[in-house]
Structure 1
Amino acid sequence: MLKILFFIFTFCSLICNGQGFSDYRLQYDNYEENDERAFKFLNLYIAKAKKETNYKELTQAYKDAVSFSKNDKIAYADSAIISAKRTYDNDILGSAYLTKGTVYYFNYKKFSPALDEYLKAWKLLEHSEDKYLHFKNLYHIGVVKRYLGYYVQSLEIFEKCIQFYGGKQHISYSNVKYNLKKGYLNSLHQSIISLNELKRYDEAVERINNGLSEVEGDLNFYLERSYLFKDKGIVEYHQGKYNEAIASFRNALSGIEKKNDFASASVVYFYKGNSLLKINNTEQAYRNFQRIDSIFVNHAFVLPEVRPAYEILIAKSNANGDIKKELYYTNQLLKVDKIIASDFKYLAGKIFKEFDTKDLIESKEKLEDSIFYGYIMAGLVLFFMIVICSLIYIRRKKSKDFLTLDESNENVDGINVDPTEEDSIPEKIFPKLSEQLVQDILAKLQTMEDQHFFLEKGFTLNKLAKKFKTNTTYLSAIINEFKGNNFNTYLNKLRIEYAAKMLAESKLWRSYSVETIASECGFTNRSNFSKIFTEIKGVSPNDFILQHKHVFNTEEN
């Protein structure tokens, strides 16, 4: 009863006494996000700012409205940008673009428009004296890089953010302390994800423990606690501690589902499902994988990380003889691949063109000219069609009905050669493979090349055959005939061409050590990488880097 009387008294005081802007904000500071009761005060705040033509306060009011609105977040974010432009203050405008980007990223998981807004903000905030805004923007660009799989680069960004947010800063205001701690915990969480992907689990565990001790007993950071338990579960899964992982995922889901972070929820469902499979609790495992599909249906969103869940569901449906479900999940997987191929490739181009290279930021529209892009794509499609048709024609003209395999015993970095595996297969004569099987495997090989699966360390022919649901003999024969090399040489060429492309295009890659470059491309040591790189490209990695540094410096001058 006292709370109700206090609320009525406060509300009346605001109307009658003409309170200041900070007084309005005090009335809704304790409301949860998406609690639209805050608009009782926000509407007064907005009206006062409009009446006084105070665009700085109006921008802040619209940004706050983004937090409390359920269905009009983008509309309020646009209003914040419009009013921010009238302040003629780069920090205020950059912050407004950040707000809109965060809505696209967190609420809708639309990475392409999110990145567009972050890049607009970066132009305004890169040299801002407001370091909090600068690092907030840098953090979000790091998140997009991490989603794209650039884990070394994203980790470097998050390390800088951790140092800033976690630094010893003498702050007296509680809200500023809260924002800095939140930035620190979020940066810590993102760095842990990158460390997990780089298989640096010991470092990840140390950071998880540090983070959990920071949030212990603090209800203000329940979501950050949930993220840390998600990270903990993933590490435990990779360490083979499946029961512990399942318990960690249960702790993670309560906060993640409350916040409706469906992207993180899908990752939890994926690893929880795999953990349940490992302990033979298959029915619960499949229910977790089905929840991933529910998220995809409801939000048209999927992460490449959870894609294998559909392969598991298809295999289960096939084993059960459930043709209807098998067809459904096959169609869903096709849709998933389409989204991954379009959205994530688009982002990869944007992140290198517009963030890493400043001169390309200014020529964005020219580089992304849709007509030019269309011509290039059409040309590539035509080229590959001609190549495939030529190969099929040559194959059909052969008079022999058998394939002769000529496998060599070349070693490839990062692969432990098993005498029963690919490169020690003795010369045998195998029945001629069906055209349908050949075309199916060639299509899958092209997907592997496009999505850079070959960068995985220890990537063997046996692993690839399992992924393609075929055997090593057929796969080896097709690679020999259609790729012109045995598996090891084929894999090395893909890795080296990827390394050369990144070194030619990315200034950041040219700053890496040869050891780091080798590791990023799937090699386990520098010497083998350097030897193979020199054989294929005709120059050593160091000379190749120096050549492109010279070209880059010449173009800049």
Structure 2
Amino acid sequence: MKFIRISFFAIFVTLICFTSNCQTSQTENQKVLSSKKEELKNYIQWTTNYASQKKFDSAAKYAEKAWNLSENISDKELKATVIYTNSRALYWQTKSLEARKFLNQNIENKTLSDSLKIKSIRLMGEIYLYEESFPEALNQYVSIEKMVRKNGISNKNDSIVLFKTYLSIGIVHSKVNNIDKALNYYDKALLFSNNNPEFENTIVFFKSVLYEEENNLRESIKYSLEGIEISIKNNFDVWLPSYYKSISNCYLKLGIGDSAIYYGKKGLVDNKDCQLEFLYNNVGKGYLLSNNNKNAINYFEKAINYSSDIQAVEIHKNMRDAYISMKNYEKAIYHNNEYIKFKSDVDSLQIQQQLFEITEKYESEKNKLKIEILQTKNNHNNFVIRKKNSQLLLISISLLLSIALLLLIVISYKKQKKQKNLLYLKNRQLALKLKNNEDTLVYNATSENKIKKNESLNIDTVQREKIHDFIKEAILIEFYLDKNISLSEFAKQAKTNTTYLSKVINEDYKKSFAVFINELRISNTLKKLELIPEYKMLTIENISDKAGFSSSSAFYNAFKNFTGLTPSYYVKKRLLQDKAL
């Protein structure tokens, strides 16, 4: 019996100890789980804090820790929060495709709370907006509006959700240049601001940005000044640099350098890390507009200390222009090289980013619009290339035509030169004949034509012979060298009337009296150019005067008509020929 009592007592003690151990173990497990949950919440909070400070690498690091720790947590809502946080971290790292895959887990989770689902949908819309997939972004925000409207606006949080939703819809419309719709949704958002100064300030800011992008600069300045007033009144100091930068931008676009400098400097007051590269750059550009290159360079150098590679491209370009204005070409060349280097790096980075984004787009069935936009851009680029090719072709054709025209001109010139040379030789032969027998040409022409025309004349043969004899004698005494000789004067000398004389010359010599006289004068000139060496040394005006012409222009025309050459060309050619001999 005693043994049995001892056995039961031992079993009882053992049971008590086991139960105590189990309770202790359960308590310890609960403590560990609670500790892990607390740690997880800390990671989520730290992720958010680092993100708000734009320290995205640190934020991504703690988001990853939260994700790894959440695998041992059974709390579905907390795990969904981790999914949301991790998706946002991936988005900050521009891993938008992965971020959307995680977010879909929350969006498709029917047991998830509305508040977390709305946050997940809003982030999805933000990612689509970043990817410029505007219809998809709009669909996300509209679905949030429907959720809130369906459940009814029952509290302040619902108003805040609608405020953020309408603001986001307005931003989407501004991106696709639906300005009126954007402004309409900004005003809708304002209805749900609950007179919250920060919300009102946000709307004012986006309106100022919208008007600036639309180059409605005066309206943008108006809203920025309103935003500054709200910010100062409510100690929203973080907004001030952005407003001052916006106003400075507007005045730069308006070409008002002093105002750009003033507001740029206002933005720099008590500002250690917000928009510094833009504000310093804007002040520099303001000084550049005011032709104060020294101060401009001073502010550009400060801007460089805070600038990204993208901003550095513009700053180095501005510094180059400033040094050129100062005629400091050595530094201008340096900053031009820096500008080229940074621009090349940025362009390369942008191309890599575009390639990465395109790859992501093709992997996602929901990004057809982006592909269409890229195709449109590609088509435009192809059009530009085709246009340039057409221009090059046109230039090539024009060049070929120019070359062909030049060849034609050369060929024509050579042909004309050859013809001139032939004409020269022909006239030279004529001149040599005249030199040997001064009246042979006139006499032969007269005899031939007299035989042909005798039958048609109403002049008796005796009278006709007398006129011919007179003309022959007159030619021998060079009557045509008289500048005052006329048909009537010549008729008097021939003792006949002008009608008979003119008829004989017209029918027998086949030319008018004026042409007849001029050809005799030109023939005489050709003969003298052969007979008298000094004759070739005279001016055209002197030769014209000696040939019996009243003006050098009349001589020029007569010589050209008779020989086919200009007198200056013929004389020059004769001189060259004499030198060659």
Relative contact order (C-alpha < 8 Å, sep 6+): which is higher? 1
More helix by share: 2
Q: TM-score range by the shorter chain?
A: 0.3 to 0.5
Structure 1 length-normalised TM = 0.46
